[in-house]
Structure 1
Amino acid sequence: MTKGCTKIYFFIFLLTISSELLAQRSSRERINIDTDWRFALGHAADPVQDFNFKVANIFSKTGKAEDTPISPKFNDSTWRQLDLPHDWVVELPFENVDNFDLMAHGYRPVGGLFPENSVGWYRRNIELTKADSGRRLAVTFDGVFRDAMVWINGFYLGNNESGYMGVTYDITDYVNFDGNNTLVVRVDATQAEGWFYEGAGIYRHVWLQKYDNLHIAEGGQFVYAEVKENVAKIFIETTVENQTLGNASGQVSAFITDRDGKKMGSAKSVEVTLALNGQTTVKQEIVLTDPRLWSLEDPYLYRVTSQVSNGSTILDHLTTRFGVRTILIDDKKGLSINGKFIKVQGVNCHQDHAGVGSALPDYLQYYRIQLLKEMGVNAYRASHNPPTPELLEACDSLGMLVLDETRLLNSSPEHMDQFERLIKRDRNYPSVFLWCIGNEEGYVQTTSVGKRLALTMLAKQRELDPTRTSTYAADLANVFKGINEVIPVRGFNYREKGMVPYHNDHPTQPVIGTEMGSTVTTRGIYEVDSVKGYVPDQDITHPWWASLAEDWWPIAADNDWLLGGFVWTGFDYRGEPTPFQWPNINSHFGIMDVCGFPKNIYYYYQSWWTDKDVLHISPHWNWAGKEGEIIDVWVNSNADEVELFLNGKTLGKKVMPRNSHLQWQVAYEPGSLKAIATKNGRTYEAVMETTGEAHQIVLTPDRNIVTADGKDATVVNVTVLDNRGREVPTANHLVAFSLEGDASIIGVGNGDPSSHEPDKMDVGDYRRSLFNGKCQMILQAGNDPGKVMVNATSAGLKSATVSIQLVKTNNNLLGKR
């Protein structure tokens, strides 16, 4: 994976240079301001500990800040200095309190029961110059959890309730040109939005934008294509806004380049004249002959630029990466991309990862999507909230479809505003193939109220994006009431036995499995342990409301009218520790654990979702003390037949049933368990051996070359080998990490759903226990190029060292839109 991913990331970097050069010629600037923030916890219930907030009368006069952190004069020198993204909840200790919501959020002490941990204050200084005078200035927050109030220089900008949908504030009227400006954010995570780990803080990027008073409006570029034979018509809708103090005129133009910067076509310039605070949308068309189409196999991205000019002066521009592709959803044949019908082989995912909580560096978005693609996944459902833009960029770049979902089914002004912002932000991503307007809204989903809410949201979706349609994730079987009466694509959460009867009753309504499966497994565990909270690592256990992988996937595979489905879930995530509670602090639903280490069910899906030669034996073969006992051996493969051998003696040959697996009952004896598969006349084999004791640590970085920009990162996976070089699957040693060079460790994990070891520690004191032979460390680059040495030690084991090279480039190796 390392070499392939590095090539992909570096390729993306090369392709973005042309847009960077254009930005230098334009008045629009988009500046990342993630660095040099000050942070302190406040208090949701004690105004004194909340820096006098709710006592000081700050709203009586414009710009009044009193003696609070809102005031530019406030002394924050004792506050912690940090860079974004930041999730303060992942830093908190676990708390065993008998409360359902606390359990569902992973036993982290945040929310109404813990007012001392539920409010956070952020402050940052922004320097402007006299040259900025006369331009519009705005700050954009990609995501803050949650209920964020924002001020600049003591002036209140607004309140963004959503913990997931970003927001932009115009700050032009409040700033000091040629001086310092103080941006302040108060985050209140007292009230949750979901029933899973959500974190808290400014956990996505923040941007300072500078642009002309005559400019492209926020979310004001919409690009879509119509493809017939070998010709693509590219439609560009550009909404221009006038915020001068009078009438303004200009020209709106558009052009397309390939990813090397070569111009492929342009639209005729259109003259616009706008009154004060006026808006207009200019619709233009560019024709591409023999376009290179975006697909899962070849996710090619053009660049579409909308430009506002006054004569020869470029006032504003917006460049969007765009894929030319055609999506069709058919009630008989399912989903097609560019005329090729495919089956949705999808996963649901929450947004947290081991070690970092919800505050993921951009690199981890690409890392996780690449892991899913290697398994055979072709579609990602953002469950149950708008994703970060970088996740969509990774899906665009690597070739992954996205089911893009709003947080809540609701037509109130607040939630419709969130929905509108979501669609305008994400409608240009070619990876987004379908919108989802809600999930399991059990209070209204079968009622006339639910039906009316859905109709209002569907109307808004069609208004803002008529090129796509919507689904709704219903936890209902053969039920055609309320939302299901009007939703264009019927979504099933589980209840897979109801899909065929539903289709028979409503054959013209396309059907997709929005949540399927939900086998619960613990990586490397092969028996139920109700004390530690573990379940066997095979496709045998599921909650009452769910099903096994082999129960749902054959239905999807065998019925063309069924678009496919999304497994719950691609990765384990914090919270929802079904079927247990404490000491569990994360879920068991993942096909991979919270670190991205595969469980055995991974190989079931890989067998039937890829054309790779898959042959996987489980469990491991280290069972000292169980000699002679029967071990249930599973083989996952897509071969025609498999023969199993124990220490050279055949245990029989079996035909592999399609979309299933094979099993043998084997009396344990140490040694070698070998499977030989036959496929289309070819043979290949897999071996599982009894290992010796752990002898040495092995460090495996995902990438050895990382950008020296203070943001880029890499994953370093840790395993241990015996003295014959075989991976020891039962090792649980404590591993300590140290670094030499300009980098830092930002988190550690091991996939153990009952581990209460900290994800984050003091500098120089990072350590993590292996869980069934594996753990993970996430390294983030500093700003100085050079070599970083990563060291790992453990008592009684041979230590390991690996080098990571930090390099300077004009852009992050992952690329930027």
Structure 2
Amino acid sequence: MLRKNVDQAWEFINGKSLFMIPGYDQPSKTVNLPHDFTIETDTHPEAPGGQFTGYYDGGVGTYTKMIDIPEDFKGKRVLVEFDGVYMNSTVTLNGHVVARHHYGYSPFHADLTSFIKPGTKNRLAITVNNDAQPNARWYTGSGIYRHVDLLTAPQIHIAPWGIYAHTSHVVNGTAFVVVETKLENHTGEDKQLWVDVKIEKELCGTEAGFGRVKVHVPAGEKAVGQVKIAVENADLWDIDSPNLYKITAKLSDKETVLDHDFTTFGVRTISVDTKNGFMLNRRTVKLKGGCVHHDNGILGAASFKDSEYRKMKIHKDNGFNAIRFAHNPMSRDMLDACDQLGLLVINEAFDVWTMEKKTHDYSQYFELDWKGDMESFIVRDRNHPSVIMWSTGNEVPERGGMSNGYEWSAKLASYVRELDPTRPITNSLPSFFNGLEDEDQLKFFLDLIKNSKNSGGGIVNIDGEFGRSIWGDYTEAFAAPLDVVGYNYLNYQYENSLKDYPNRVICSTESKPMDMFDYWNDVERFSNVIGDFVWTSYDYIGEAGLGRHDYYESAEEAAAATKIRHVAKYPWRLSGGADIDLCGFERPQLAYRRIIWGSNETFIASHHPKNSGKIEVLGSWAWPECENAWSWAGYEGETVKVDVYSAAEEVELILNGKSLGRKPAGKENRLIAQFELTYEPGTLEAISYSGGKKVSSNKLTSAGKPVGVRIVPDKKELVADGQSLVHAVIEVIDEEGNLVPTAELKTVAQVEGAATLAAFGTGNPQATENYTTGEFTSYKGRLLAIVRAGYESGSSVLTVSIDGLKSISVEIPVK
């Protein structure tokens, strides 16, 4: 099917349109997709989703576009493809309802064929209803937040996402690739048609293989043609060499080409077993993973190729080799980025099945829609070599057998294998904080309260002795249909599982930052534990305050505070506990993770002197509050705690040329050397030693007062496609050009010319400012401005202003 992107120039109104005709609804505005209308609004403490949605509301919106349908479209099939609309969307063409779609994360098609009017403009409208709140456990965004394409084809054609390729086996460098092509016959006659398949290297276009098959397609039916093609001297797709191939299929009646389509694909083999763990191309790979939600930071839910690529590249550059999509299918752009970068993906379907987690969530539609939603994203995604596992769900209450949970687990796994038998299937299981019959649930919580009192108020992973004792037996029938069982925060169950279920392959699908040392040790020591995925690697909007820090003067106050670590009142907006903040800036825990994974770097983590002597209480997903900085103006002479992360045997700390001695580090000390010293500005250096020899060092210099602004864009120009983005880091600097990490200054950003300011903000988890107004207060001396290209070439200028400092501008050509 011919594909044409139609993201440009939609008329948008807040609410449900009365007339659904451009120009007749007021007020309205023209928007280019992708578009998230919730991120344009302000947060407020009365938002019905509360901390879970980051104190944002939902809402209703209508998108309308006049589509030119040429005269020669008469007799053709015309579909519109949506990569993602959140949520409860209704698609109409010329007033006719042509499709409804509930799930906000699965792609879908709306067939326009019966209602098109060739030779004139046709009115395409989509109403999005995200008004029923709360319907998720995180920020969802609202609107047509991914791409929209118009598809056209003759009545006999290759089905949308109709090419499916997978590697059968590789022998002596020759890969045998099975290519299936699904055909659709919308005529009243049986057809005998040829499918020609060509494989070529994506990078250079060199032909790598060819196949041909004749297919009988009955009238009004679908049929699949399959060929197995030998690709000699195959370039394997791998983590460090993500080689891709392009597969083109042409449909013909031997003389005339009727239709054609293409897809990208990677030659690689995968397997899982208890002895070798996860194997990629016949070698064991431990998964160094991060869980990510679908939002793109200050852009909200809107998905752009450049933003998805940047987010994934930050992961790759910092040692991650795997990403878990939490808890839903992501955009095609994110998967393309993972293919290109060599990141392994757990592609997840659902956060809920039949039993609700939030009042208006997907559980209302699951029994009706699950099969179609699962098919749509798997068929779309199954050619991506980055996808190594399908996940049927996350922490569903049915895991202990409630509401036919065992049957549902088997049913979903079986259907996934019908769609793609080449990849393992997983599902993520936590403790039994829910999902038990009434009698057992009461026992669970009474035992939890008892354990909490006995341990001074702390509850480990919301579990107790009763929950631990029943977990394996109650979940076994649920886990049995899976190839890999996901354990969320359950490393204390590993040894029992190895004894009771010796054939089970385990993946730590969620763990907390403070536990990363222990979880990674478990990954390394157990062959059937294939990896660890931190919750989360990249910060996100919603589930606000999971990474909060609070300080108390007394142990009594601190003990009482541990009972409310999950609660974060307004103005908290972000989760706040991730390795990477909302704008893509690293937090100290990311350096610690790199060191756990084998980096020989040295990293100074300095704690603010104002908190010296106080008791820090961490949110359940927090890391101790610290900075890779030595700029505590006003606290001269105060005590300051300094941690140094290092895998070396010992670390020496040097302040202004004077050694403060050496402290042990390395694995025996959980990779942390701890110092306590008196703050004085200047230079602080940490040097790591092993065997008496210097391994690495980290040097920090105190910053002076803010005197200027620096703009650091991630590229020099934009493409005039309406989608291209520049991510410009804004830094407040002193007279020496050093970042001033304590600067919190009101900042204004403006873009003039052939581009627009798509977003402007920081990773401050408690900021109340709007990411779309161009005004924001710097946080830790930084901000991020995201500049979006228009559809016309020309010049654009980003200007940043701070009161009392000289404004600065940078030109960004749009070509």
Q: For the residues of structure 1 that align with 2:648 and 2:809, how far apart are their CA atoms?
A: 39
Out of 498, 506, 520, the position equivalent to 2:501 is 506
Deviation per residue, 1:195-239 (Å, 9 max, x gap): 100011111111101112111123322100022332210000111
Q: For the residues of structure 2 that align with 1:279 and 1:501, how far apart are their CA atoms?
A: 49
- Aligned residues of 1:85 and 1:204 also touching (Cα < 8 A): yes
Q: Which amino acid aligns with 2:341?
A: L
- Aligned residues of 1:644 and 1:652 also touching (Cα < 8 A): yes
Deviation per residue, 1:402-457 (Å, 9 max, x gap): 10000244672411111111211111110000011111112454447111001001
Q: Do residues 213 (structure 1) and 208 (structure 2) align?
A: no
Flag the 1:784–1:616 CA change in 2: closer, same or farther, 3 A: farther
Q: Do residues 467 (structure 1) and 416 (structure 2) align?
A: no
Q: Do residues 125 (structure 1) and 63 (structure 2) align?
A: no
Deviation per residue, 1:533-579 (Å, 9 max, x gap): xxxxxx5xxxxxxxx32342222233332101110001111111134
Q: Do residues 169 (structure 1) and 107 (structure 2) align?
A: no
Q: For the residues of structure 2 that align with 1:179 and 1:335, how far apart are their CA atoms?
A: 55
Out of 37, 41, 52, the position equivalent to 1:88 is 37
Deviation per residue, 1:85-106 (Å, 9 max, x gap): 111111111111275x332111
1:262 is matched with which residue?
206
1:105 is matched with which residue?
53
Q: For the residues of structure 1 that align with 2:673 and 2:402, how far apart are their CA atoms?
A: 45
- Aligned residues of 1:447 and 1:483 also touching (Cα < 8 A): no
- Aligned residues of 1:616 and 1:637 also touching (Cα < 8 A): no
Q: Which amino acid aligns with 2:52?
A: A
2:583 is matched with which residue?
595
Q: Which amino acid aligns with 1:706?
A: L
Secondary structure at the residue paired with 2:289? strand
Q: For the residues of structure 2 that align with 1:284 and 1:91, how far apart are their CA atoms?
A: 49
Q: For the residues of structure 2 that align with 1:356 and 1:454, how far apart are their CA atoms?
A: 35
Flag the 1:679–1:179 CA change in 2: closer, same or farther, 3 A: farther
1:229 is matched with which residue?
172
Secondary structure at the residue paired with 2:479? helix
The Cα of 1:617 is off from its aligned counterpart by 4.2
Deviation per residue, 1:372-431 (Å, 9 max, x gap): 111111111110111111110000011101100002446724111111112111111100
2:796 is matched with which residue?
788
Residues 497-576 of structure 1: pairs in structure 2 closer than 5 A = 497-517=492-512, 519=513, 539=514, 548-576=515-543
1:152 is matched with which residue?
93
1:329 is matched with which residue?
272
Q: Do residues 707 (structure 1) and 719 (structure 2) align?
A: yes
2:472 is matched with which residue?
479
Out of 615, 620, 635, the position equivalent to 1:626 is 635
Q: Which amino acid aligns with 1:489?
A: V
Q: Which amino acid aligns with 2:516?
A: A
1:79 is matched with which residue?
28
Q: Which moved more, 1:620-629 or 1:749-758?
A: 620-629
- Aligned residues of 1:38 and 1:76 also touching (Cα < 8 A): no
Secondary structure at the residue paired with 1:391? helix
Q: Do residues 39 (structure 1) and 12 (structure 2) align?
A: yes
1:651 is matched with which residue?
660
Flag the 1:673–1:417 CA change in 2: closer, same or farther, 3 A: same
2:674 is matched with which residue?
663
Q: Which amino acid aligns with 1:263?
A: E
Unaligned runs of 5+ in 2: 355-365, 432-467, 547-564, 607-626
Out of 357, 375, 387, the position equivalent to 1:432 is 387
2:613 is matched with which residue?
none
Flag the 1:247–1:485 CA change in 2: closer, same or farther, 3 A: closer
Flag the 1:417–1:565 CA change in 2: closer, same or farther, 3 A: same
Secondary structure at the residue paired with 2:139? coil
1:533 is matched with which residue?
none
1:747 is matched with which residue?
759
The Cα of 1:306 is off from its aligned counterpart by 1.9
Q: Do residues 756 (structure 1) and 768 (structure 2) align?
A: yes
Secondary structure at the residue paired with 1:707? coil
1:306 is matched with which residue?
249
Flag the 1:753–1:163 CA change in 2: closer, same or farther, 3 A: same
Q: For the residues of structure 2 that align with 1:503 and 1:104, how far apart are their CA atoms?
A: 36
The Cα of 1:194 is off from its aligned counterpart by 1.9
Q: Which amino acid aligns with 1:261?
A: G
Q: Do residues 197 (structure 1) and 139 (structure 2) align?
A: yes
Q: Which amino acid aligns with 1:671?
A: G
Secondary structure at the residue paired with 2:472? coil
Q: Which moved more, 1:244-253 or 1:82-91?
A: 244-253
2:119 is matched with which residue?
178
Q: For the residues of structure 2 that align with 1:338 and 1:648, how far apart are their CA atoms?
A: 51
Flag the 1:280–1:612 CA change in 2: closer, same or farther, 3 A: farther
- Aligned residues of 1:603 and 1:637 also touching (Cα < 8 A): no
Deviation per residue, 1:245-266 (Å, 9 max, x gap): 3333321121101121121110
- Aligned residues of 2:79 and 2:111 also touching (Cα < 8 A): yes
Q: Which amino acid aligns with 2:278?
A: L
Flag the 1:720–1:183 CA change in 2: closer, same or farther, 3 A: same
- Aligned residues of 2:250 and 2:259 also touching (Cα < 8 A): yes
Deviation per residue, 1:508-552 (Å, 9 max, x gap): 1100011111x4xxxxxxxxxxxxxxxxxxx5xxxxxxxx32342
Deviation per residue, 1:259-313 (Å, 9 max, x gap): 211211101x322332321211111010012211000101000111222112232
Secondary structure at the residue paired with 2:33? coil
Flag the 1:405–1:193 CA change in 2: closer, same or farther, 3 A: farther
- Aligned residues of 1:354 and 1:749 also touching (Cα < 8 A): no
- Aligned residues of 1:128 and 1:177 also touching (Cα < 8 A): yes
Flag the 1:41–1:784 CA change in 2: closer, same or farther, 3 A: closer
Q: For the residues of structure 1 that align with 2:428 and 2:210, how far apart are their CA atoms?
A: 41
- Aligned residues of 1:591 and 1:599 also touching (Cα < 8 A): yes
Q: Which moved more, 1:784-793 or 1:305-314?
A: 784-793
Out of 687, 698, 706, the position equivalent to 1:676 is 687
The Cα of 1:158 is off from its aligned counterpart by 1.6
The Cα of 1:240 is off from its aligned counterpart by 0.9
Secondary structure at the residue paired with 2:310? helix
Secondary structure at the residue paired with 2:145? coil
Q: Which amino acid aligns with 1:514?
A: T
The Cα of 1:593 is off from its aligned counterpart by 1.1
Q: Which amino acid aligns with 1:417?
A: G
User: What TM-score results when the alignment is normalised by the length of structure 2?
Assistant: 0.85
1:12 is matched with which residue?
none
Deviation per residue, 1:720-742 (Å, 9 max, x gap): 11112211110011121223431
Deviation per residue, 1:658-686 (Å, 9 max, x gap): 36322211222222110123468454322
Secondary structure at the residue paired with 1:146? coil
User: What TM-score results when the alignment is normalised by the length of structure 1?
Assistant: 0.84
Cα RMSD (Å) of the superposition?
2.0
The Cα of 1:614 is off from its aligned counterpart by 4.9
Flag the 1:435–1:445 CA change in 2: closer, same or farther, 3 A: farther
Secondary structure at the residue paired with 1:40? strand
- Aligned residues of 1:406 and 1:436 also touching (Cα < 8 A): yes
Flag the 1:515–1:434 CA change in 2: closer, same or farther, 3 A: same
Q: Which amino acid aligns with 1:167?
A: F
Q: Which amino acid aligns with 1:479?
A: G
Q: For the residues of structure 1 that align with 2:242 and 2:208, how far apart are their CA atoms?
A: 18
Q: Which amino acid aligns with 1:427?
A: R
Flag the 1:655–1:380 CA change in 2: closer, same or farther, 3 A: same
Flag the 1:409–1:689 CA change in 2: closer, same or farther, 3 A: same
Q: For the residues of structure 2 that align with 1:800 and 1:634, how far apart are their CA atoms?
A: 36
Q: Which moved more, 1:72-81 or 1:638-647?
A: 72-81
Q: Which amino acid aligns with 1:474?
A: L
Q: Which amino acid aligns with 2:8?
A: T
- Aligned residues of 1:323 and 1:430 also touching (Cα < 8 A): yes
Q: Which amino acid aligns with 2:114?
A: D
Q: For the residues of structure 2 that align with 1:612 and 1:246, how far apart are their CA atoms?
A: 68
Deviation per residue, 1:91-129 (Å, 9 max, x gap): 111111275x3321111122xxxxxxx211111100021
Secondary structure at the residue paired with 1:731? coil
- Aligned residues of 1:734 and 1:768 also touching (Cα < 8 A): yes
Q: Do residues 722 (structure 1) and 664 (structure 2) align?
A: no
Secondary structure at the residue paired with 1:89? coil
